[in-house]
Amino acid sequence: MGSDIQIFVILKEDAEEHKRKAINKLSLMVRKLFDDGRMEHTREAMAEKPLPGEHKGNCHNIALGFMTDLIIAGYGQGWFWVQGVNKNRGLKHSWLEYDGFFVDGTEKQKEKPDQLTVSIGEVGHAYKARGITKILKRRNAAQTQKWIFSQAKDEA
């Protein structure tokens, strides 16, 4: 089932061995979750097409879906749903972090823009590449669940 998701690992060639092992372990875990069909909210959010006039891709829905799937699968411990901003461009972005690595399901491949892609790399690289200048929110699994329930309560 997961063959339609491509995972890119972004790590410097001269990265320390423990980082290589950690990112490999993380990418294998993410791959297994997709292959086992446990990432249905994430997959749905990644495949969602924007409405006319909307910004392409919805990083907030993708990150929230990913965190939700992790919680449901029993893997939420140690993960964070992070929201930051690029002040220079005035853009907000959402992604996940785990053990010093970012996990982002919003990347689009130039050659294959419809290919669902998850990128995994070092947090510092992601902040620099996306121009993240400020972290707005960082929610662990329990905080994410509390936020979801508060949103549901507000809508009721």
116-122, strands of its sheet edge to edge:
5-10, 116-122, 101-104, 91-98, 79-86, 134-139
How many distinct structural domains can be found in the chain? 1
pLDDT > 70: percent of the chain: 92
pLDDT tens for 46-99 read 988 776 766 666 899 999 999 999 999 999 999 999 999 988 777 899 999 999
Which pLDDT score, from 0 to 100, does residue 152 have? 79
Which pTM does this prediction carry?
A: 0.89
Helix (H, G, I), strand (E, B) or coil at 140: coil
Range of the domain at 116: 2-155
How far is Cα 121 from Cα 119, in angstroms, rounded to an integer?
7
